[in-house]
Amino acid sequence: MREIRLLVVSLLFGGAFIGLFPVHKGETISDLIVGSVLSPGGFFLASAFFIAGFVFQGKVIKVEIQSFREGKPRFGLMLLHLMVILGLSWIGWVHASLFLFVSCIYGMISLDLKREGGRHVDH
């Protein structure tokens, strides 16, 4: 249930990021700089939504990978996750691709393959 809430919040945050980001399809990096200077509030808000959204997506990706490693895949969660990704892609596929790419990287980095919580203690 926790992962479903994370997916819903990440969908909302991802949609807000795509909607508020000042650069749209076909613009250059100079347009990004000019847009962020002329509209710093929108750029900052979109960046905050992006960061929070990819952290939530990354946590769900981590749970999905761990469930596969344990031999108990959660196909319902994966299907819902796919629908969230398709929904974001429908709003803006370039922004959604960036959002998903960073989320996947964060989810894989946050995996703890040797331990669950705590610090490593070398003896």
Render each residue's pLDDT in the chain as its tens digit; 123 residues. 788 898 889 889 988 888 887 665 556 777 767 777 777 888 889 889 989 988 888 888 888 888 888 888 888 888 998 998 898 888 888 888 888 888 888 888 887 666 555 555 444
pLDDT of residue 111: 75
pLDDT of residue 122: 47
Domain that holds residue 72: 2-109
At 89, which amino acid appears? S
pLDDT of residue 123: 43
In a domain, 120, yes or no: no
Q: How far apart are CA 122 and CA 36, in angstroms?
A: 47
In a domain, 99, yes or no: yes
Give me the number of domains the chain comprises.
Answer: 1
For the chain, what percentages of helix, strand and coil (3-state, to nearest 5) are there? 75, 0, 25
pTM of this prediction exceeds 0.85: no
b/e for 68-88, b at 16 or more Cβ within 10 A? eeeeeebeebeebbeebbeeb
pLDDT of residue 40: 80
pLDDT of residue 24: 59
In a domain, 118, yes or no: no
pLDDT of residue 25: 54
In a domain, 14, yes or no: yes
In a domain, 121, yes or no: no
In a domain, 83, yes or no: yes
In a domain, 18, yes or no: yes
pLDDT of residue 3: 85
